[in-house]
RNA sequence: GCAGCCGUAGCUCAGUUGGUUAGAGCACCAGAUUGUGGAUCUGGGGGUCCCCCGUUCGAGCCGGGGCGGCUGUACCA
């Protein structure tokens, strides 16, 4: 059979395998997140990967494009099912289904895989993990403030330094109020409102000029592709910019970014960067848009600011009116956890990491299943994104030393496998990772195998040792160090560095000693 | 989705105006060493030159279409 006839071994586009190093590092990171969530009083819950499509709330697949955005399929009874694309909608379903039994407010966390059927890119997969925490049944913005503080604690817990991240907070009511006040209220303006929100959402990436273009006629990107704008009048744009930059400077990071300036001039008014949430609230009140929604939203932000400032989080949880988040179901406070440090990619170009998580209040979601309205708020961490960020800053939680490989018992004589297996068993019974070499190659290959497995040492017993009732232990870590000084192969072989012989009944003891040398 | 760039061994890449059997380094396997990781030397396995169609006596190279990758942009619960 020629190679062309063989199946090509490849993971599907946008799906990734994970090796042992990733697995254990991810596990450590998840444990740290879980610990923080637990500390705040949240409890675990798990829901399935698959939900009824209508429970996910987006849209029923139509016949032509049943998998637009989500992975969907039909059950025996014609019911549409979908792989979940976030953890919020499934939680809403769970809470509604178990409403009477759950304590309220119900506070729970869960980590899990979610799936999105869209074009993958670097660092962007069709299967990825989220780690959420939600408070359901609490209308008070104290719940929102708490979740923001918890997000900050979580990032520190996994090894992001204070100052290298911020949790930005805004309120959809504020945004809605501003849009209303500049004449974009009403159902007929829904499309335009959406375009405006999308433009605002891009502030940190495109900067003020880009957003200004998108609010007006539109913007052309580097490749010459044109994005149609919201077609707002200049007066409307000015008001929006005044709003966006009112507590100006809160997307700031130690390094310059497109949005990081110490002052901004809009229509002759120069606005200086403020660094205090209370000041930001003052500014927002000063703008005084003619909208009850706006004032209610600012009041909520003021409460949140007061709570986080009182708890000493004012340098990490920051009011920022440019945060938009999802366009689908958020109804009140929205938040976004952003990493503010810069790193270099492989080509040495500076890269900003940006958002590693976000969330907000979704008061309408559980209510879809219930006769009564149920307020809820929650936060979601993009586990994979956070993980690669931690890799880049070398957080000890992901770069910590991996556990050593197994002690490998070499097979010198095929007819002695039972004896070798006995050694393996005695090591295992002593709690030491160990294995018999199960391949068919010679000794040299077995040494290479042990090396690749990161074995701390190998056990050697040929006929010579057996006759004396001994085994040889070769310390591979020590040996590798010793080898650096050896140039010729003859010397290398003769020296047998870091190798010693012991009576067979002292095997466990001696291996323990070797392990103790390197992994105390 | 749209736009630009790109596609030769597991990886990084050479490959002349279109001309024998397509190369290198690294990696892998084996031997030198009948029982020792590294280094060195020698040898070996690996390719539908992304795919299809076309032009040509002849295509890795030229043309068209497709697929895939990267970058930007759009969408994003």
b vs e for A137-152, b when ≥16 Cβ sit within 10 Å of the residue's Cβ?
A: bbeebebbbbbbbbbb
Q: What is the mean pLDDT of residues A35-45?
A: 97
- A27's CB contacts (< 8 A; 6+ apart) are none
Percent of chain A with pLDDT over 90: 53
pLDDT digits (tens, 9 = 90+) for A224-235: 778 888 999 999
pLDDT for A443 beyond 60: yes
* Tokens representing residue A50 in the block: 């698959």
Average of per-residue pLDDT values in chain A: 86
pLDDT digits (tens, 9 = 90+) for A329-350: 899 999 999 988 877 655 555 6
Would you say the C-beta of A324 is within 7 Å of strand B?
Answer: no
Q: Where are the alpha helices (DSSP H) in A106-171?
A: 141-157
Which of chain A's residues 405-434 bind strand B, using a 7 Å CB cutoff? 412
CA distance A453 to A447: 10
Protein-contacted bases of chain B (C-beta within 7 A) = 1-4, 29-33, 35-40, 46-48, 68-77
* Tokens representing residue A415 in the block: 């007819």
CA/C1' separation A207–B37 (Å)? 55
3-class DSSP assignment, residue A320: coil
Q: How many CA atoms lie within 13 A of A118 on its CB side?
A: 11
Percent of chain A with pLDDT over 70: 88
* Tokens representing residue A352 in the block: 């900003």
Pick from A89, A505, A106: which is nearest to A330 by CA?
A: A89
Lowest mean pLDDT among A4-13, A83-92, A222-231, A437-446: A4-13
Residue A84 pLDDT: 93
pLDDT digits (tens, 9 = 90+) for A153-209: 999 999 999 988 999 999 999 999 999 999 998 888 888 899 999 999 988 888 888
Supply the CATH classification number for the domain A407-518: 3.40.50.800
Q: What is the mean pLDDT of residues A411-439?
A: 94
Q: Where is the binding site for L-histidine, in residues of A?
A: 86-88, 116, 130, 134, 325, 329-330
Query: Nearest nt to A498, CA vs C1'?
Result: B36
Q: Which residue has the higher pLDDT, A431 or A14?
A: A431
Residue A252 pLDDT: 38
pLDDT for A261 beyond 80: no
CA distance A214 to A218: 5
CA distance A274 to A256: 16
Residue A351 pLDDT: 67
pLDDT for A255 beyond 50: no
Q: What is the mean pLDDT of residues A374-386?
A: 93
Residue A251 pLDDT: 40
Q: Which residue has the higher pLDDT, A152 or A253?
A: A152
Pick from A177, A178, A170: which is nearest to A239 by CA?
A: A178
CA distance A308 to A203: 25
CA distance A240 to A234: 10
Confidence band, pLDDT 50/70/90 cuts, at residue A272: low
pLDDT digits (tens, 9 = 90+) for A91-142: 999 999 999 999 999 999 999 999 988 888 777 888 999 999 999 999 999 9
pTM of the predicted model, to two decimals? Answer: 0.88
pLDDT for A278 beyond 60: yes
């Amino acid at each position: 059979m020629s190679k062309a006839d063989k199946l090509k071994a490849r993971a599907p586009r946008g799906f990734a395998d994970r090796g042992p190093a990733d697995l254990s590092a991810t596990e450590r990171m998840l444990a740290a997140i879980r610990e923080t969530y637990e500390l705040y009083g949240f409890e675990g819950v798990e829901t399935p990967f698959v939900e009824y499509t209508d429970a996910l709330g987006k849209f029923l697949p139509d016949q032509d494009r049943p998998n637009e955005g989500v992975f969907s399929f039909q059950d025996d009874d014609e019911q549409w099912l979908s792989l979940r694309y976030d953890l919020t909608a499934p939680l809403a379903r769970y809470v509604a289904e178990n409403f009477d039994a759950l304590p309220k407010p119900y506070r729970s966390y869960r980590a899990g895989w979610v799936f999105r059927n869209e074009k993958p890119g670097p660092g962007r997969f069709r299967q990825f993990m989220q780690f959420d925490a939600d408070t359901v049944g609490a209308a008070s913005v104290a719940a929102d403030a708490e979740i923001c503080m918890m997000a900050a604690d979580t990032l520190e817990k996994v090894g992001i330094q204070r100052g290298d991240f911020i949790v930005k907070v805004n309120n959809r009511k504020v945004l809605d109020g501003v849009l209303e006040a500049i004449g974009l209220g009403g159902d007929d303006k829904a499309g335009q409102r959406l375009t405006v929100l999308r433009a605002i959402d891009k502030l940190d990436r495109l900067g003020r000029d880009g957003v200004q273009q998108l609010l007006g006629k539109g913007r052309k990107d580097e490749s010459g592709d044109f994005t149609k704008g919201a077609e707002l009048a200049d007066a409307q744009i000015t008001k929006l910019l005044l709003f966006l930059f009112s507590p100006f400077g809160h997307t700031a990071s130690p390094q310059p970014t497109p949005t990081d300036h110490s002052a901004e001039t809009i229509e002759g008014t120069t606005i200086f960067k403020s660094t205090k949430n209370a000041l930001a609230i003052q500014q927002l009140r000063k703008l005084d848009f003619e909208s009850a929604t706006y004032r209610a939203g600012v009041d909520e932000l003021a409460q949140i600011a007061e709570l986080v400032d009182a708890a000493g989080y004012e340098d990490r949880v920051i009011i920022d009116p440019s945060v938009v988040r999802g366009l689908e179901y958020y109804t009140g406070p929205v938040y976004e956890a952003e990493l503010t440090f810069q790193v270099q990619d492989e080509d040495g170009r500076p890269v900003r990491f940006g958002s590693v998580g976000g969330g907000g209040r979704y008061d309408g979601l559980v209510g879809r299943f219930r006769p009564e309205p149920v307020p809820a708020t929650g936060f979601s961490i993009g586990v994979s994104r956070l993980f690669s960020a931690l890799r880049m800053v070398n957080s000890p939680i992901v770069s910590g030393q991996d556990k050593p490989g197994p002690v490998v018992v070499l097979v010198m004589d095929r007819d002695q496998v039972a004896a070798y297996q006995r050694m393996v068993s005695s090591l295992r019974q002593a709690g030491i990772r160990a294995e018999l070499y199960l391949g068919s190659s010679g000794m040299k290959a077995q040494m290479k195998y042990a090396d690749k497995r990161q074995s701390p040492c190998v056990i050697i017993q040929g006929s010579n040792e057996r006759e004396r009732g001994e085994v040889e232990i070769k310390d591979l870590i020590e040996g590798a160090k010793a080898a650096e000084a050896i140039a010729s192969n003859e010397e290398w072989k003769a020296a047998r560095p870091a190798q010693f012989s012991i009576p067979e009944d002292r095997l466990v003891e001696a291996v323990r000693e070797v392990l103790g040398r390197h992994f105390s």
